[in-house]
Structure formats: structure tokens, C-alpha cells
Amino acid sequence: MARIQISDDALYTRELLKKIVHETEHEVVAEAKNGDEAIELYRKVRPDLVLMDIVMPAGENEVDGMAALKRILQENPSAKIVICSALEQQVLIDEALKLGAKDFIAKPIMPQEIIAALSKYC
């Protein structure tokens, strides 16, 4: 069983991802709604995989989703992060993949794509 962190500012998306993860053998160990929380929770729980939206608002420390991705990968180069974002963010998606994100899943999220990513990276 893998430990999953969900990082997305939209409650609906977090709930959908949580439901999909719970339908597999894996568990959700953390949920973040901004970049600051994503970094803080990653440091605290060390999940096996992060499902992350890169277009999230900045928290008090002014860290948005893309900055959180960069920071997590700088501190933990082996971190497994799968981006879940809208296709209209293609420039950011390309940058995230170059930085070391493992994969990209387009919104709206299809359960079978999340399940495939969990199978591949967990």
C-alpha cells in the first residue's frame, strides 16, 4: 500500500482524487490546498507519491504550486510527483516535467488515468 499526498486548491478535485485513491490499495496521508501546505506536508509525511495541481494559490510564504514542485524536488530529487492540471497550462506542464515531475494527467480527471499512474509509480 502506497502513501499518497493530494495537493490541489479545489476541494472538489481533492475529494475526487481521494475517492479514486481509496478505491485502490493505497491510502491518502495528506491533503494540501496551496503550495506552502504541499511542501510542509511533504516534509512531514514523506508520501510515496504526490498528485499535484501546479496552478494553486500561494500560501503565507508566497509559494504557489509550481514553486512547491520545484522546492520538493530540490529537497528530495527522488520524490514522485504526478501533475494533475488543465491542458491550457501546457507551458507550465512542460516546465514541471523538465523539473522532474513523473507524469501529467489532464483535468477533468478520469479515474482510470489516476489508477494507471498509481500502478505505474507506486
Counting the structural domains of the chain, the total is 1
Nearest by Cα to 5 from 16, 24, 18: 18
Q: Residue 85 is part of a domain; what is its CATH number?
A: 3.40.50.2300
How many C-beta neighbours within 10 Å does residue 93 have? 19
Q: How far apart are CA 39 and CA 67, in angstroms?
A: 9
17-72 pLDDT tens trace: 999 999 998 999 999 999 999 999 999 999 999 999 988 887 777 778 889 999 99
State the distance between the two ends of the chain, measured CA to CA, in whole angstroms.
Answer: 8
For the cut 80, the answer to whether the pLDDT of residue 2 exceeds it is: yes
Structural domain range at position 111: 3-121
Q: Is the pLDDT of residue 15 over 90?
A: yes
Name residue 39's amino acid.
Answer: I
Burial 1-13 (b: 16+ CB within 10 A, else e): ebebbbbbbeeeb
pTM of the model: 0.93
Would you say how long the chain is, in residues?
122
Whether 37 and 60 have beta carbons less than 8 Å apart is answered as: no
What would the grid cell of residue 59 be?
500560501
